[in-house]
Structure 1
Amino acid sequence: MAIAKNSICLWYDTDAEAAARFYADVFPDSEVTGVHHAPGDYPSGKAGDVLTVTFTVLGIPCLGLNGGKAFKHSEAFSFQVSTEDQEETDRYWDAIVGNGGEESACGWCRDKWGISWQITPRVLMEALAAGGGEAKRAFEAMMEMKKIDVATIERARRG
């Protein structure tokens, strides 16, 4: 088993394996690479329970830790997923929100485990990077949205 030099550790109450399998089903270049059981009892579980899960999300190595209810996720950490078009944006957004997640603002949503996701069409990032009036118009349009609407951003870019 190869161990990544650096990976993201995500804390779950008890559902690290379910979350990792969901991400692997939804996103390309994602897979569950290992499920590891606790060798002994620990504060939030028993020997034999799933303790950690190794997986990748869009090629990023992650470790899911079933640590119990001690810590909660916040928007201070999120996965930002760049999408090519409205179809891809809708597919990821609908998968996350439709699986017990919830919408937030400006392209952000949260999955049912509390992990935040920014589902961000490239056209929005390109508009913001362009600066000036184009960036201002795209930004103002984005501020009115939950899921990003590509056509509206494109219209805002053009003025």
Structure 2
Amino acid sequence: MLLKPITPCLWYDGQAKEAADYYVSIFPNSKITSVQKFNDSHKAVTDQDTGSVLTVAFELNGQPFVGLNGGPHFKFNEAVSFTIQCKDQAEIDYYWDKLGEGGDESKQRCGWLSDRFGVSWQVVPAALVELMVSSDPEKAKKTTAAMLQMKKFDIAALKAAGDS
């Protein structure tokens, strides 16, 4: 398994392969690149069954990741998230619906969501900075106020708020 200089490693409690399969089904240009299983030598440091998945390397739209079945010791939280720059509302809707399915709805705000594995994602329009930064301070203020009220971003509503 050859990894790039920076590869996010996501810690799971037995769901690394399930999560990788799920993400690969959502993102274009994605694939599982390798799966390593626990073997007898791991028994000295873990209680995992020989033959169960230890790590899964995968790519999401060409970005490498590793999923590690490290056990119940650590949980995901919003301190780390992955941003998806979306070209239009259809893309925002697609990723929001796919990644949000089965996730914690209480964590949905300002384009952020938590998927069913607890991983945080920011599903944002690529033009978000343009929409929020304006030479007209009142327009920027209105756009920002509208954004702060949203769960899933609505590009048309953001534009309308700035133009009101």
Global fold match (TM > 0.5): yes
Q: How many residues align?
A: 158
State the shift of 1:43 in Å.
Answer: 2.6
Which segment drifts farther, 54-63 or 88-97? 54-63
CA distance in 1, matches of 2:16, 2:140: 38
Secondary structure of the corresponding residue to residue 25 of structure 1? helix
Equivalent residues in 2 for 1:76-155 (5 A)?
76-98=79-101, 100-103=102-105, 104-130=108-134, 132-155=137-160
What letter is aligned with 2:97?
A: D
Equivalent in the alignment of 2:20: 20
Query: Contact 1:44 / 1:67 at 8 angstroms: preserved in 2?
Result: no
Secondary structure of the corresponding residue to residue 143 of structure 1? helix
Which segment drifts farther, 103-112 or 128-137? 128-137
State the shift of 1:48 in Å.
Answer: 1.2
The C-alpha deviation readout for 1:123-154, integer Å capped at 9, x for no partner, is: 32322244633332221101111111111011
The C-alpha deviation readout for 1:40-85, integer Å capped at 9, x for no partner, is: 3343512211000001123221110001110011100000001111
Query: Contact 1:123 / 1:154 at 8 angstroms: preserved in 2?
Result: no
Secondary structure of the corresponding residue to residue 94 of structure 1? helix
CA distance in 2, matches of 1:76, 1:121: 21
Equivalent in the alignment of 1:45: 48
Query: Contact 2:3 / 2:64 at 8 angstroms: preserved in 1?
Result: no
Unpaired runs of 5+ residues, structure 2, are none
CA distance in 1, matches of 2:158, 2:25: 29
Cα RMSD, aligned residues only: 1.6
Unpaired runs of 5+ residues, structure 1, are none
Provide TM-score, normalisation by structure 2.
0.88
CA distance in 2, matches of 1:119, 1:44: 37
Secondary structure of the corresponding residue to residue 127 of structure 2? helix
Provide runs of 4+ in structure 1 moved above 6 Å.
none
